[in-house]
Structure 1
């Protein structure tokens, strides 16, 4: 059963329970108090009848005349007066058999009441001159009884009408409430492997749980897109990049086999084989790192990392590989609070990502001074790497994060086009972003943004 139908059914059931309780409440108290006025009229007649019939008073005739003239005669009104003992009251021969509790109340000296359908009784015990009497007045109340019956019909009709209305309102309510969810489902059905770049519009769902659900789907799509891109790039580029050094190695092996042992051609062939084997190892290592850095759902081990200390380590690491590099660290704008420069991260992966960026800056600037600036602002760390190198042509900027892509002006520099894509994947793993600002011939600035929390 769909959620909308479940909500509608539950809403209708709850409404039915509430309405039935309310109707029962109204019916009970209406039944209790609807005839209160009529009972009081009967009780007044009981007292008047006792005064006229039992008490010897010279004004009784006047009382009787006034009663006939000014006190209305109730429908089917009957009067019963008979002698009785205080301990054993006789049963009055009325139209209906009155219950024992009625006579018990009379015995206790109280005004007794009884109703059967539309026939009402009121009675009381009087003692006149040491003689006991029972006075009972009986009458019908057609108007009150009819009103109660009409109320019963109204409550029953209102109950069924309310159930129908609650079902309609519940259906509309569930349809309105689940409309954002249906929109999310429709949008998600449109997203397939070939258009993973599409995202849900979080703002259109307001700031409630639906927008949180949409944002969760977007985060999942980010991970899926990165994983798909990583896999596709790995498959599409690995065969091409690996085939070239393998072809060269095979050719050089044939030359070495044909050449005289120890000759110049033999030594050159072995050197070429060694060079291409090193190149092949580097490509394989980079491809493996690129594949493992994708959003594969695995939990990466993380630790508290101070970025200023990590930058010093990165400077030392790059200097060991490229002793001629000139890296200047700018830490002047760091706050005194240590927590402002500390984040939870996979230290080795993060070090690899930033090392690739700094190493590229040194290499493509012919080892001119490279500035690395660290800032902390609003729970966000930024690492800006600025070089004075060859820059990137405008037409190539959109492709620099594609695996194995190299800018058109990098032919004089050795590289494989894997460093920046690998860095981007690692930064994304840490929920960060990379921005780039460059001008061909003047230099490049790459800024890495990482959330502290």
Structure 2
């Protein structure tokens, strides 16, 4: 069952429940108050009957004539005047309940209805005797109105349920039509046309948010596909080069069977290219692992200042000739302002790559690391005095295996910064690059405290 049918059915059921409750209330209160006026008319006749039948005043005869002349008789109206000691309810009606007479004996006005036959009774004292006067009559008009109301309520109930079903069906189709349009548009989007986007209408309703969410997801998918294509293309190129060299050197070594020096040179070249190939594969593995969602890796509270000291030590071990100056002069005293929840090993790897590049491309001139905590953001700035990055190459430095045009004399594979970027994004941070050729480069890492 689709959502439209479920909404329609639910709407019809809820409407039926509400209408039935409303009809029940109307019927109950109509049944309670419809005959109130008729009961009052019977009670008035009980009092008049007592006045006429139990009084010896002659003026009451005149009163009886006026009553007969001007007070209409009710349908099937009957009067019963019985002395209490001679009371036999069978003389009145055998179906009158015992409670009816108990109410009269208690000095109150008693009422009773059986279908369309109404009774009203009361006790009176005359000449030291107690009499019970009961008046009964039919109320065909009120009873008929109640029956008509019952028919109207039943007919209205079924008509309202049918109407609510139709309205619910129209309403559900109207509300779900934008969702159907979204589904129809999403079905048209495939791997070969990821550039297509959904139409987002102005507003903040859920459908607009859903369309915008799909568009954001498509943006990420398109970026991921492009990155993957570029990654595969660059990886294929980088892997093919050492493999080609290795194949060529093997052929040379096989040809120079009697020349030991040529064979030794070829084997040395094969060893170097094999090591290069190993480095490329290790870097590829690092790039792949840095794309995980972080849920399967340990996260802990990390003090960023202590992490910087560890990075400095690591870089100095790998590049003993490097010079690194760390500036913590403007750090806050509260250690919580320099502590973040992070994957320590990955974050250390990302910062180490950035600092190591700064040392390498500045020919081991002094590299400055500045740590700053402000507005719930930790800033790590790494500034060198190296060769810089050409303006046209800055936007590509985070692409896997891309190397700036002025780095040919430096050994590298173009995977350090892309790996760092993936790790920083994993920590919901960002990286900014500012560079000027032959002056130096500054890379700033921003990490949220929470």
TM-score of the two chains, using structure 2 as the length reference = 0.84
Check whether the contact 2:294–2:426 (CA below 8 A) recurs between aligned residues. no
Please name the residue that 1:376 is paired with.
373
Residue aligning to 1:255: 252
Q: Select between 56-65 and 324-333 the one with higher mean Cα deviation.
A: 324-333
> 1:114–1:121: 8 Å Cα contact kept in structure 2?
yes
Which shifted more, 411-420 or 363-372?
A: 363-372
Q: CA 1:367 to 1:218, structure 2 compared with 1: closer, same or farther past 3 Å? A: same
Equivalent residue for 2:80?
Answer: 81
> What secondary structure does 1:86 align onto?
helix
Query: Distance between the aligned counterparts of 1:167 and 1:205, measured in 2?
Result: 30
Change (3 A) 1:318 1:446: same
Aligned-residue Cα RMSD (Å) equals 3.7
SS of corresponding position for 2:387: coil
Residue 285 in structure 1 maps to residue 282 in structure 2: yes
Corresponding position of 2:119:
121
Contact 1:380 1:449 in 2 (8 A): yes
Distance 1:441 1:107 in 2: 118
What are the residue-to-residue correspondences of 1:41-440 with 2, within 5 Å? 41-70=41-70, 72-76=71-75, 78-86=77-85, 88-92=87-91, 98-101=95-98, 102-103=100-101, 105-106=103-104, 110-126=108-124, 128-129=126-127, 133-164=131-162, 166-167=164-165, 170=168, 185=183, 189=187, 192-194=190-192, 206=204, 211=209, 218=216, 222=220, 232-233=229-230, 235-259=232-256, 263-295=260-292, 299-440=296-437
Asked if structure 2 preserves the Cα contact closer than 8 Å seen for 1:83 and 1:131, the reply is: no
Q: Secondary structure at the match of 2:392?
A: helix
How far off is 1:229 after superposition?
Answer: 5.9
CA contact (8 A) 1:227 1:296 kept: no
User: Tell me, what secondary structure is at the counterpart of 2:393?
Assistant: helix
Kept after mapping to 2: 8 A contact 1:361/1:386: yes
> What secondary structure does 1:91 align onto?
helix
8 Å Cα contact 2:242-2:276 kept in structure 1: yes
Q: Number of residue pairs matched?
A: 449
Task: Give 1:82 shift.
Answer: 4.7
CA distance in 1, matches of 2:197, 2:373: 30
CA distance in 1, matches of 2:381, 2:428: 17
Answer yes or no: is the 8 Å Cα contact 2:386–2:439 preserved in 1. yes
Match for residue 12 of structure 2? Answer: 12
Measure, in 2, the Cα distance between the counterparts of 1:323 and 1:272.
27
Please identify, of 247-256 and 159-168, the stretch whose mean Cα deviation from structure 2 is larger.
Answer: 159-168
Partner-residue secondary structure (3-state), 1:395:
coil
Q: Which residue of 1 aligns with 2:445?
A: 448
Q: Which residue of 2 is the match for residue 26 of structure 1? A: 26
Q: Structure 1-normalised TM-score?
A: 0.83
CA contact (8 A) 2:84 2:132 kept: no
Moved more, 169-178 or 362-371: 169-178
Give secondary structure in 2 for the equivalent of 1:120: strand
